[in-house]
Each structure stands twice: as structure tokens, then as C-alpha cells.
């Protein structure tokens, strides 16, 4: 029996230059293994500054983007792939850049009717000098993922995080500061234009940080989330609306906070390159509705091939 991707040559972009490199290496390896099981010839490419030259030499017919964070998820690598006229998975240049910029993404989503948190951008030194809003609040880089560089400032805190003013801070001069929303951490994956399900994430430490996301036993995922049906449905629709408003394509994951005491659901951000590790949320949701990991990878690839060329351009 012929395998579905027989005769295809796919370059899996993994690793990269961001603080999320280690997660990308795991995601990329899992995706590359699945693609090989599906019959593709796979080139694993640790995406560095010479990416254009490497891909030009390899001559793949598609790039599977398994990068996370800056450069791989923010439109930069997508721009390289557009220049090469090489089809690629996940979202395009504009939607990737927009989703990665939390402040701009929130403005676009709010205009479309998505409920987002308040707050705004502040200079990191200003944010380190004094509380810019009454605690509790959350401090996060404006353009990072995987909860890298995130701080919770609780009521009674003597002052803001001093790490923001240190020379070791490498996450930009502006930080996003938002009110802390108590309650549940929820996630919704979207395939194409349809939300899959809702996951309730229970972090072992009480905060869904980097270790909780990727460490063994760092969090428990409840799929489907045991929440009121109307909130479950609202999360699905809000994720679809956010995906569409940012112009995303392929697979995305929207992250929410749900204040179950006040029945308030707030969308925090949209991830255009969801993690594809063994503990990742999107593959779990797909499996819950009967889509195996390999079938999910096949769908992502076929969706990218189906667009024909890059960014909607005609394939050469």
C-alpha cells in the first residue's frame, strides 16, 4: 500500500535561535518521525541564519515549520520561505508577526469581538521601579511564547520584579502588563476554521510556566474541560474568531483564563506554532476527537500543499 506522502521531500525546520530552541527540537523530531512514517523523505534542518542557502541546496517541495518563538514564529522565517517560493505549514508572514506581538494582536482581536485582558505596554525599567497597576498582575515579554520571562506579582508584593531592569534581560525593552485573572487555564486548538475541544490545564505548581508546559508531570490536562456547557461553547467560538481575525491558517492554539467565580472568559493569546511534543495540547485534543498524531501531521502538510505555493502564490 502506497504511503500518503511517498515521493514528497519535506524539510522540517527545528531548533532555531530563540529561547524556545529546546522545545522546538523535541517538537521537530516528533513531526519528522511522523512524516517518515507517512512515507516522506525528510530533511531535518536546524534553522540558523543560513536557512535560505541550506534550503536552496536541499530543494525540498515543502517546509514543515516546527520552530517556536522569535524568528521562527514571528514572520521572519515565513518571509524567507516566501522569498524562496517554498510552500510551508502554519500561518503566513503577517498573521505570524501579528500574533507574536501581544499588544497588536489584542487590539485586532478586541475589535473583532474577542474578550481580552486589559493592561498595556510599559518600558521595562519603568515597570521595575514601581507598580504600574495595583497587584495582582502579570508581567510578560511582548513577543515571546512558552511562558518565557513571565512573572506573577501578587497582592502584598513589596515591589515589581527586579529582573526586568537587569542586564541579563533579553526579551525586549517593552513588557506587557495585564491584570491577573484568577481561575482556570484553558486552551483551544483550531484546525483550519474549526475549534477542536477545550482543555483544562492544572499545573502542578499552580502556575502554567515553562516547566509546567514541558516538564514531565508538570501539568495535568483534562480533555474535555469539565466546565459549564455555555462556557465550553463560548471558548470554541472565541478561539475560532481569534484565529480568523488574525488571518491564521493551519493549526493554532488559543490560551484562555476562565474566572469560574465571576463566569468571565478572557483570551490571552493565540499561538500560531503550537507545541508538538508528547505533552502538547493540540495533539491531545486531536486524539480526543479521533485524529491520531500522524493524521494530524498529514492534515497540516496537506493543508499547506493545498494552498499551492507560498502565501497563496502559485507553486512553481
Active site residues: 20, 146, 214, 253, 255, 269, 271, 275
Please answer whether residues 162 and 258 qualify as being in contact, where contact means their C-beta atoms are separated by less than 8 angstroms: no
Quote the CA–CA distance of 245 and 249 in Å, as a whole number.
Answer: 11
* Residue located via cell numbers 522569498: 83
Catalogue the E-assigned strands of the chain.
Answer: 9-14, 41-46, 62-65, 120-123, 137-141, 151-153, 174-179, 184-191, 194-203, 219-222, 251-259, 264-271
* Residue located via cell numbers 491531545: 284
How many CB atoms are located within 10 Å of the residue 261 CB? 8
> Which among 116, 24, 121, 10 is positioned nearest to 72, based on CA atoms?
24
Peptide bond into 136 cis (omega under 30): yes
Quote the CA–CA distance of 311 and 249 in Å, as a whole number.
Answer: 10
Amino acid at each position: 500500500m502506497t504511503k500518503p506522502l511517498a515521493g514528497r521531500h519535506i524539510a522540517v525546520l527545528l531548533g532555531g535561535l530563540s529561547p524556545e530552541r529546546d522545545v522546538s527540537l523535541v517538537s521537530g523530531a516528533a513531526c519528522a518521525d511522523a512524516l517518515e512514517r507517512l512515507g516522506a523523505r525528510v530533511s531535518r534542518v536546524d534553522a540558523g541564519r543560513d536557512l535560505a542557502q541550506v534550503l536552496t541546496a536541499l530543494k525540498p517541495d515543502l517546509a514543515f515549520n516546527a520552530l517556536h518563538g522569535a524568528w521562527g514564529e514571528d514572520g521572519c522565517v515565513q518571509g524567507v520561505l516566501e522569498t524562496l517560493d517554498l510552500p510551508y505549514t502554519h500561518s503566513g508572514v503577517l498573521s505570524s508577526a501579528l500574533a507574536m506581538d501581544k499588544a497588536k494582536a489584542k487590539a485586532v482581536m478586541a475589535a473583532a469581538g474577542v474578550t481580552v485582558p486589559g493592561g498595556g505596554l510599559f518600558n521595562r525599567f519603568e515597570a521595575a521601579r514601581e507598580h504600574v497597576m495595583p497587584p495582582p498582575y502579570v508581567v510578560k515579554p511582548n513577543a515571546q511564547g512558552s511562558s518565557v520571562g513571565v512573572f506573577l506579582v501578587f497582592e502584598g508584593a513589596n515591589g515589581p520584579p527586579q529582573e526586568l531592569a537587569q542586564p541579563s534581560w533579553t526579551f525586549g525593552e517593552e513588557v506587557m502588563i495585564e491584570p491577573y485573572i484568577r481561575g482556570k487555564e484553558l486552551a483551544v486548538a483550531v484546525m483550519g476554521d474549526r475549534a477542536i475541544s477545550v482543555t483544562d490545564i492544572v499545573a502542578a505548581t499552580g502556575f502554567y510556566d515553562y516547566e509546567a508546559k514541558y516538564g514531565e508531570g508538570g501539568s495535568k490536562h483534562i480533555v474535555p474541560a469539565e466546565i459549564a456547557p455555555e462556557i465550553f461553547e463560548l471558548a470554541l467560538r472565541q478561539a475560532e474568531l481569534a484565529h480568523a481575525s488574525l488571518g491564521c491558517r493551519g493549526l493554532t492554539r488559543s490560551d484562555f483564563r476562565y474566572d469560574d467565580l465571576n463566569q468571565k472568559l478572557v483570551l490571552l493569546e493565540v499561538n500560531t506554532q503550537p507545541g508538538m511534543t508528547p505533552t502538547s495540547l493540540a495533539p491531545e485534543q486531536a486524539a480526543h476527537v479521533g485524529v491520531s498524531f500522524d493524521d494530524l501531521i498529514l492534515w497540516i502538510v496537506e493543508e499547506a500543499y493545498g494552498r499551492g505555493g507560498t502565501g497563496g502564490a502559485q507553486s512553481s
